[in-house]
Chain A
Amino acid sequence: MRSFSIFALLILLLSGCGSADDGRVKVRIWHQKIGAERAFFEDAIAAYNAAHTDRVVEILYRENEELRNLFITASVGGQGPELVFGPSDNVSIFALTESIRPITDVLPDSFLASFNEDGIVQWEGTPWFVADQVGNHLTYVYNKALMPSPPTTMDSLITILKQVQARDEVRYGLTWNYTEPFFFIPFLTCSGGWVMDEQGNPTLDNEATVRAIQFVLDLRDKHQLIPAQSDYNVAETLFKDQLAASIINGPWSWAGYSDAGVDYGLARIPRMDASSDWCAPVISAKGYAVNVNVNDEKLSYVHDLLVYLTGPEMQTRMAEEIATIPVIDAVRNAEVVQQNPVLQASLRQVEVGRPMPTAPQMRQIWDGMRGPYQLVMSGTISAEEGARRMQEEVEKRIADTFL
């Protein structure tokens, strides 16, 4: 029986864990910052905690999808962190589930006035969200050792890539992720298409989508410039091993390329010759929203923290140290930003980007497009069939959400 009493003791010890109550006001943030940005964020929070003795900020990383689900669960249960950091796509879902309160409850207009339109995300007329950056933009990344200068139009892209691919060591001119429709959007926009209309209805079964798909299929089958199969990791590895001369990928990936010894350059994804439209990626703001369960006593602490985390000073430091694009125009025009080549390349791409729609239907659009996009890329169905199925799938999913 001795083991049982030791066991009982253990249980007592364990239940005591986790309640370090020392009278300080606790503000918790769930975030999804990764890599260098996470390290920067952790330092910034540590500095904030060191400067304040009456409060403590605790941060917790969660992968985007989990962050959204757990935050909603927690908030509906009357709990959850005071602040949540993530991409602006989550805003309408948080607002619909009444998980967050308007950002104007916490931040005065005088503070928000300095932000540009990328920086404050609205849904149904209410501002819910304040950003510390805008980004997530796919960009054309090329290996400088294999191609000295990037193409600016799709016709020149095909010509240049054919020359590059003639070299033995290069297996493919270009590569990207074939499994996520997010990577297909640039081809759609420069073919004259877009995913939804003003009311949030999908607009995928049309000529523009067919043209976009056909263009991609031609790259693969007619010009043979891209791999027959690829997903995120295959594309990454091909580019890092210098077997692919260029890749379409976002800011989160770039540091990994220099680590792998690739001398890379950034350029806008080329424009389509026929329309002369730039192939525009989706861009989205990343920032903070306030949990609906935050009581009024804590509001002033949350206010103070948000001003610290999103104010001009922090945005300048972020631009300088981790090359994020500020959403305060004064900072964007400041010298540190203007002099930074990576930021400038980034900004040039963002200038032609399409903002991520805040409508909640966006999730059904991604989910509905994904399957047909994969079938198209694996050569199972034609461009027309692909466009038709995308529309059908999205419509079914949107109808389903109402039950």
Chain B
Amino acid sequence: MNASSFDSKRFLGRLGSYMVLLVFALIAVYPVTRILTISLRPGDRLLSTSLALFPDDATLENYRVLLFETPFLRWLFNSILVSLVVTVTGVAFASTAGYALSRFKFAGKGAMLSGLLVTQMFPATMLLLPLYVVLINLQLLNSYLGIIIIYTATALPFCVWQMKGYYDTIPYALEEAARIDGCTPWQAFYKVIFPLAAPALVITALFSFMTAWNEYVVANVVLQDTNLFTLPLGLKLFQGSLTTQWGLYAAGALLVSIPVVLLFLVLSRYLISGLTLGAVKG
């Protein structure tokens, strides 16, 4: 009697969990299906009274034009290049700086942590003008190096904090054990702690990637050659002050999100590899 009511309660709990997930998944996906519909609609119409997923006159024309009659693939390549470099740099710098801030005591540590936060507090639009002057003087206008530096610096404060927070949850006993086994401080970090921080590294990588992937405002100022454009800049070419090529815009948006979804699929395996933490703690 007792056991069966426990079972049905558990069953209801599970059913409830699935229902809630389903509702939120629908909410997350629905606007995306609207974008899909717009991309399949001929004649650049943003709006329609029809709520159908596939319009009656659905066509892949927008995708064809986008892939074969615009430099979309070139922009895709540029974006991937820039975003990957930013991701690698972001992970390398944030994982090391976050480690130092989590593990060691040194003068100015508190100041540095809040200093990183402080950099995020100034409205970014106002930084553009002076940044532009700096880039001109350093001759970094119209080069990827310029935006890579800016993107990495933009992503780092969050990534460092994120890494620091995660390292804080890893017991110090692990390094002590490694040091006793004869590891140098670098080895203790690189061989023991770094792999254990995989979930946080995934978040850092994803965040750095997204910072570079969707960024528009800075790229718009720095890059002035259509061949160097990243995807967000390229997509904006379809937008005029009043008229927008909605079909191309929407098709582009969906294609742009595919690499992100793929990246997330690949990385999410590591997001759940919390590994042996518990064993060590116990």
Interface residues of A (CB under 8 A from B): 3-4, 7, 10-11, 14-15, 17-19, 28, 32, 34-35, 58, 60-61, 63-66, 70, 73-74, 77-79, 81, 232-234, 236-237, 240-241, 250, 252-253, 256, 259-261
B99 to chain A minimum Cβ distance, whole angstroms, is 16
- Are B243 and A32 in contact, with the CB atoms below 8 A? no
**Who on chain A is nearest to B145 by CB?**
A15
Give every chain B residue within 8 A of A74 (Cβ-Cβ): 132
B203 to chain A minimum Cβ distance, whole angstroms, is 19
Give every chain A residue within 8 A of B49 (Cβ-Cβ): 241
Q: CA separation between A232 and B243, bound complex, in Å?
A: 9
- Are B221 and A70 in contact, with the CB atoms below 8 A? yes
When A and B form their complex, what is the total count of cross-chain residue pairs whose Cβ atoms lie within 8 Å?
95
Give every chain B residue within 8 A of A32 (Cβ-Cβ): 240-241
B41-63 interface with A by 8 A CB criterion: 42-49
Query: 22 A–B contact pairs at CB < 8 A?
Result: A11-B145, A14-B143, A15-B144, A17-B143, A18-B228, A19-B143, A34-B243, A35-B240, A60-B224, A60-B226, A61-B226, A63-B240, A64-B241, A65-B241, A77-B132, A232-B242, A233-B47, A241-B49, A252-B243, A253-B242, A256-B44, A259-B44
A79 contact from B136, B148, B225, Cβ within 8 A: B136
- Are A237 and B45 in contact, with the CB atoms below 8 A? yes
B205-248 interface with A by 8 A CB criterion: 220-221, 224-226, 228, 236-237, 239-243
- Are A10 and B142 in contact, with the CB atoms below 8 A? no
Give every chain A residue within 8 A of B224 (Cβ-Cβ): 28, 60, 81
Main secondary structure of the interface of A (DSSP, over half): helix
Interface centre among B45, B89, B92 (most CB of A within 10 A): B45
Interface residues of B (CB under 8 A from A): 42-49, 81, 85, 88-89, 92, 128-129, 132-133, 136, 141-145, 148, 220-221, 224-226, 228, 236-237, 239-243
- Are B43 and A34 in contact, with the CB atoms below 8 A? no
B243 to chain A minimum Cβ distance, whole angstroms, is 5
A240 contact from B43, B128, B220, Cβ within 8 A: B43
Q: CA separation between A63 and B237, bound complex, in Å?
A: 8
- Are A7 and B43 in contact, with the CB atoms below 8 A? no
**Who on chain A is nearest to B237 by CB?**
A61
Give every chain A residue within 8 A of B46 (Cβ-Cβ): 233, 236-237
Give every chain B residue within 8 A of A77 (Cβ-Cβ): 132-133, 136
Q: CA separation between A70 and B129, bound complex, in Å?
A: 9
- Are A70 and B220 in contact, with the CB atoms below 8 A? yes
A14 to chain B minimum Cβ distance, whole angstroms, is 4
Q: CA separation between A73 and B148, bound complex, in Å?
A: 21
- Are A73 and B92 in contact, with the CB atoms below 8 A? no
Q: A60-B224, A256-B44, A259-B42 are in contact. List 19 more A-B contacts (CB 8 A).
A: A7-B88, A7-B89, A10-B85, A14-B143, A17-B144, A18-B142, A18-B144, A35-B240, A58-B225, A63-B240, A64-B241, A70-B220, A73-B221, A233-B46, A233-B47, A236-B45, A236-B46, A256-B243, A259-B43
